[in-house]
Amino acid sequence: MVKSIIKRYFRRHPAPISRKKSCVSTSSGHRNYSLYVNRVLKEVVPWRTISSCTVDIMNTLINDIFEHIAVEARQRMHSRNRCTLTPEDVQKAVHFLLPGKLAKYAVVFGVEAVHRYVHS
C-alpha cells in the first residue's frame, strides 16, 4: 500500500531531471525527519537498512505532504472567514489530500496525539 502511494505521489510530482546523480537535499526551512524514518524502519523491519539518499527522499516527501496539508488547511480557514486554524480545518485538509484509509488513519492518529498532548 505504501509503495503504491509513493508511486502515485511521484507520478503527480515528478522530480526535476538532472545530469548528475545525487541525493535530494533538503532546504534549510524544513525539518529533518531522518531520525524518525530510521526509528520506524527499525521498529517495522529490524534487519533492513536504508541508504542516506532514500532517507533524504522520504524526508522531502514528508515535508512536501506537510506543506500541502498546511496550505489546504489555511485555504479552508480563509474560506470560512476565520482567523484561527482549528483541528477541523486540518482534518478536512487531510481528507481532501490523502486517499481513503490513509486519510482515516491519519486523522485518528492525529486526534489521539492531540488528546495525549492536551492531557499530559
Q: Which CATH number fits the domain that encloses residue 80?
A: 1.10.20.10
How far is residue 95's CA from residue 87's CA, in Å, rounded to a whole number? Answer: 12
Reduce the secondary structure of 50-93 to three states and give it as a string: CCHHHHHHHHHHHHHHHHHHHHHHHHHHHHCCCCCCCHHHHHHH
pLDDT value at residue 67: 93
pTM score: 0.68
Count of the separate structural domains present in the chain:
1
Q: What is the pLDDT of residues 16-63, one digit of tens each?
A: 655 555 565 555 677 898 899 999 999 999 999 999 999 999 999 999
Domain that holds residue 38: 31-118
Distance (Å) of CA 43 to CA 37, 46, 51, 105 = 10, 6, 17, 19
Report the alpha-carbon angle 81-87-91, nearest 5: 100
Is residue 77 situated within a structural domain?
yes
How far is residue 108's CA from residue 95's CA, in Å, rounded to a whole number? Answer: 11
How far is residue 41's CA from residue 49's CA, in Å, rounded to a whole number? Answer: 8
